[in-house]
């Protein structure tokens, strides 16, 4: 089946780029042991985030949805000394796993994991005059994705790169009537980002070990 082929290529890419990465492997292992869902980005997509962070010389990164910190490690490794990554997580127990993983990966000095509902934290960040961030990775719950985009635009400046995970959802985003709130949320996000005059955006389909999904990329004008 094609799904197998895609997974095989992901493993090939992993061998090619990172034959052994104890910090990332350990992060997944500990996340699994702690009972976290296996919904982190794949290593190929983690690598993509890393390359994008380097491409936009990101020194201030915001991530919405930490889980066990797997994507956080990829992003934090692109942040130079003195840079900062703030990652938002609703579940305190997940944040604890992430902090341990980030410490083991040697990036804890650059990263803050902030616990709470991201909608509240984003509103607080705006009140605090936080930002602008150079790169934002949206990867939390899907129903409020469009709200996250609106909030993130207040924490951005020209050149800020906004990346959003899971915007294709097995192709279900292209169906007219969906009764899945996650898919509906992503549809609202995709329509909002496409129509948003403050950004230039593209959405790319992706396959691999995590199945069939996609990412949105939007750069603030
Ligand atoms: N970025 C991670 C995966 C994140 S999974 C990686 O690739 O490694 C999505 C995470 O978002 C989960 O940990 C979930 O608890 C968190 N989350 C869901 N809703 C949230 C909300 N409203 N505010 C903050 N975090 C939320
Ligand atoms: C889910 C969330 C994600 O961020 C992801 O990458 C895959 C699945 C989910 O909630 O099902
Ligand atoms: Mg995701």
Three-state SS across the chain?
Answer: CHHHHHHHHHHHHHHHHCCCCHHHHHHHHHHHHCCCCCCCCCHHHHHHHHHHHHHCCCCEEEEECCCCCHHHHHHHCCCCCCCEEEEEECCHHHHHHHHHHHHHCCCHHHEEEEECCHHHHHHHHHHCCCCCCCEEEECCCCCCHHHHHHHHHCCCCCCCEEEEECCCHHHHHHCCCCCCHHHHHHHHHHHHHHHCCCEEEEEEEECCCCCCEEEEEEEEC
Q: Which residues line ligand 2 (CB under 6 A)?
A: 39, 139, 165-166
Distance 203 CA to ligand 3 centre (A): 14
108 vs 90: CA distance, rounded Å: 19
Contact by Cβ (8 Å): 67, 89: yes
Q: What is the number of residues in the chain?
A: 221
Where in the sequence is the domain holding 203, given as residue range(s)? Answer: 3-220
CATH number where 151 lies: 3.40.50.150
Distance 1 CA to ligand 1 centre (A): 30
* Total domain count, the chain: 1
- What's the pTM? 0.98
> Which pLDDT score is estimated for 172?
97
Distance 213 CA to ligand 3 centre (A): 9
Is 71 close to ligand 1, i.e. is its CB under 6 Å away?
yes
Q: What is the pLDDT of residues 72-97, one digit of tens each?
A: 999 999 999 999 999 999 999 999 99
**Angle at which helices 181-195 and 145-153 cross, to 10°:** 30
For the chain, 221 residues long, the average pLDDT of each consecutive 10-residue run is 88 88 97 98 97 98 99 98 98 98 98 98 98 98 98 98 98 92 98 98 97 98 98
> Which pLDDT score is estimated for 1?
57
């Amino acid at each position: 089946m094609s799904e197998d082929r895609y997974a095989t290529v992901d493993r090939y890419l992993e061998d090619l780029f990172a034959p052994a990465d104890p910090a990332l492997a350990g992060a997944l292992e500990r996340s699994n042991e702690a009972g976290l869902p296996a919904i982190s980005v794949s290593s190929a997509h983690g690598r993509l985030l890393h390359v994008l962070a380097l491409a936009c010389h990101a020194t201030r990164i915001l991530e919405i949805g930490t889980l066990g910190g797997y994507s956080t490690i990829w992003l934090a490794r692109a942040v130079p000394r003195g840079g900062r990554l703030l990652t938002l997580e609703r579940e305190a127990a997940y944040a604890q796993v992430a902090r341990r993983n980030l410490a083991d990966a040697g990036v804890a000095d650059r990263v803050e994991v902030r616990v709470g509902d991201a909608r509240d934290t984003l509103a607080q960040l705006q009140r605090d005059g936080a930002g602008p961030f150079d790169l934002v990775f949206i990867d939390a719950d899907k129903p409020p994705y469009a709200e996250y985009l609106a909030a993130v635009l207040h924490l951005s400046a020209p050149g800020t790169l906004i990346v959003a995970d899971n915007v294709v959802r097995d192709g279900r985003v292209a169906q007219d009537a969906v009764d899945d709130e996650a898919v509906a949320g992503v549809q609202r996000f995709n329509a909002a980002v496409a129509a948003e005059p403050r950004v230039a955006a593209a959405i790319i389909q992706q396959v691999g070990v995590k199945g069939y999904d996609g990412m949105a990329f939007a750069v603030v004008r």
